[in-house]
Amino acid sequence: MMDALDDFRMTDAEFRILSDLLRSRCGLHFDEATRYLAEKRLARRIRETDLGSVASYLYLLRNGASAEEELSTLIDILTTNETSFFRERSQLDALVEEAIPELLARPARLSRPISIWSAGCSTGEEPYSIVVLGREAGLVPGKDFRVYASDISRPVLAKARRGIYREAAFRETDDRLRASYFAEKDGHFKISDRIKREVHFVHMNFFDSARVALLGTMDIIMCRNVLIYFDLESKKQVVKVFRDKLEPGGYLFLGHAESLISVTTDFELKHFLRDLVYRRPVPGEEREDPWHSLAHRGLSEAERIGDDQ
């Protein structure tokens, strides 16, 4: 029996065209190791559009009147966008219990809310989680902090703005928080308006320099589990955007599986009680040596164990 994918199998030339287009337009990286995944998901989209061939679809992406909209749809298909509320909770606790209070307490800080950018926010679980946990920690949204959220996919942003979720989005949510901040109807859960109004959503492509230039500077950037889709050169470009958009002394949160090793030396590691994050150094400030800090922690632990014995 013929695989349905065979009708839309890409030639090597077509795969190079698609890969180059995705890399140049939005930084997404697909190589031979991920080619089958790309072909499978692309075939599904070609069937939906009734274009009939890979060549016709690539022409639409490059020259069609709806090329920008179609690219956004394709990105949504090619990336998983699987997330949930309060994912990697230790990072979110470090954000609301340590990073924000520390920034608020800085003597040179202007009297304004701490600005937080949820970059690559998908369907909105992360920025809404930040507002909920901020309130739970005694912070006042709009006064103590303000949350901005962006994604390259317009369909995903539309879902985020609606703020309606299925049961699967709550696999890391305790019953009290769900009861306090969501209303259930017909098996779906709608985020409370008092949380929804505190998140400002915007369509954003990290590689659109004109669009990025419209952003103001941020105190904190959350970009978790997004860089995994980029090759090294694209990672460097995105991280440079983050460095330029972060206030000196500001924090960058990445996913636990992500690192800036071999990407940049423009950030230093910051040790919070709950997690490790990256910090943009303040010019003229002595930079902390993370290796020295880790070694010192190890020595202190060894000394404590020795005292216990």
As a whole number of Å, the end-to-end CA separation of the chain is: 70
Active site residue: 9, 23, 41, 89, which one?
Answer: 41
Reply yes or no on whether 162 is catalytic: no
Reply yes or no on whether 244 is catalytic: no
Active site residue: 76, 93, 144, 151, which one?
Answer: 151
Catalytic residue set: 41, 151
